[in-house]
Chain A
Amino acid sequence: MLSFVLRRLGQSSILILIMSILVFVGMYVVSDPVAVLAGEDFTEEDRIALAEELGVNRPLVVQYLSFLKNIAQGDFGTSFVYNRPVLDLILERLPATLEVAVLAIGIGLTIGIPLGIYSGLNQRKPATKAISFTTTVGYSIPNFWQALLLILCFSVWLKWLPASGRGDTTDLFGIPVSFLNWDGLSHMLLPAINLAIYKICMQARLSRSGTQEVMYQDYMTFARAKGIGRDRLIRRHLMRNILIPIVTITGLELGGLIAFSTVTETVFSWPGIGKLLLDSIHHADRPIVVAYLILITLMFVTINFIVDVLYALLDPRIRYK
């Protein structure tokens, strides 16, 4: 176990190192922070002073090495734009994004899996055709357009839910969260639904194809033959077997949602880290972009590790190999 964890850590450090170099060089090539930050009335001397203050006048290699040195001391750098520690900025925004991502995945699983199992078990029923059609459509609608439709429908016409912002927050262990009061929750619903629609469709299709495969296995017929009730047949025999691909995809999707729900956060003006990333790229705020991507990489590595552990829990054949 320990060697497995250590190997994973070693691999991910190399991955993070390579990724940080790529982002560092990339950001250097595409934009110049001094040009973005300098005002109209800046003189050449002011510009030089600004560059010196930001530390971007040094050779790139030197900048990168001092960045590595700071990271080793737990300092991810200071934002060019906000002039505050990068880590604070990211951690401030993270709860908002996490909340929406977890809610969206939760909706996707609780609606998608039952729909998928139902349509896998009842292939000839009209409801199955309807589910299949709807999920195909839901799968293919562009995210931003779907978001606009949701706003039009629930905010403009029905006036049920607010269209933008985060609303009131409640502190939970010192972290501001929205889901504990109605105003916050109502602000959260539309972005979460917008992200969840795609997830529902995907989970439904995944669990449908899993169900179709598993239900024809000998052990399903045998379990029926030995007199097991339908409920138990589905909950224990079927679910346990279709969960493996679902866990893999869900892990990846959760990572994807946390890291890159930029479009949805932008449309709903949700103050999450996706929006922070977009703004920072725009403003050539390199420390934020680099730190952000390093944290995201770490997060993916962690999620994948958890998925691997779940695999072993779900499938004894992997556990005992």
Chain B
Amino acid sequence: MSLNIIVLAKQVPDTRNVGKDAMKADGTINRAVLPAIFNPEDLNALEQALKLKEQHPGSKVTVLTMGPARAAEIVREGMFRGADGGIVLSDRAFAGSDTLATSYALSAAVRKIGDYDIIIGGRQAIDGDTAQVGPQIAEKLGIPQITYAEDIISVEDGVVTVKRRIESGVETVKAKLPLVVTVNGSAPDCRPRNAKAVQKYKYAAVPSEVAADEAKKEFIEKRPYLSIGEWNASTVDADLAQCGLAGSPTKVKSIENVVFTAKEARRIENNDEELEGLIKDLIANHTIG
């Protein structure tokens, strides 16, 4: 049985490598210096999708992302690694969305796609670490969810078997399609780009990327497989009251740059005498030993 698979992916600032210049003097984030990357656990999710596609010939993998038009970069990246196409959901109306408004918009896009068997996303995105959007989409679509997945073992006769990695150990669960699966970072890494796919899809773009270039526009129009979908709130029939700030129950009251109270540190020279002195002190005051 071939499967229609939707992969939820997010383009995120690489918060793991925040250097000294990442914060501006006023305490806000200097996004310009942070590289935008494919959210790491969404790559784990993509790998699970591509594995299912191999096991079920004829399956189709669609990458769905919400963000500015620039997020087409990660749809292309997904296509370079084996996805069949994708959609960027982009609208000013989505600005300021909390997780609930985000899941509302994405679930509206999933409904618009319509034909899906399994939705796979990363457990969480590294810029928020909330892990909320996957389960919230499942709830809005009225379908089950399996979170913390490490391996989608199989899909047979409409039943999916998944291994989950949770604090207390490992669980293997079965559930019927359709459903949402969120994938842990402990799952296998995503395969690298495929040279043939890169050749095939390197000019893939959303309409707004090529709007100013008639030649490119025509080139893509003749090759529908290069066209990445670009949808907005009205394309997916979203209720604006549920989008963006208006649709977000949570509000940010304040944001503070983190400052820790400095202690008076004792400098220990890296020589035998001082290091031995430190060890002796720690033994004497029963910190160690």
Co-assembled chains A and B: no
A interface list, Cβ under 8 A from B: none
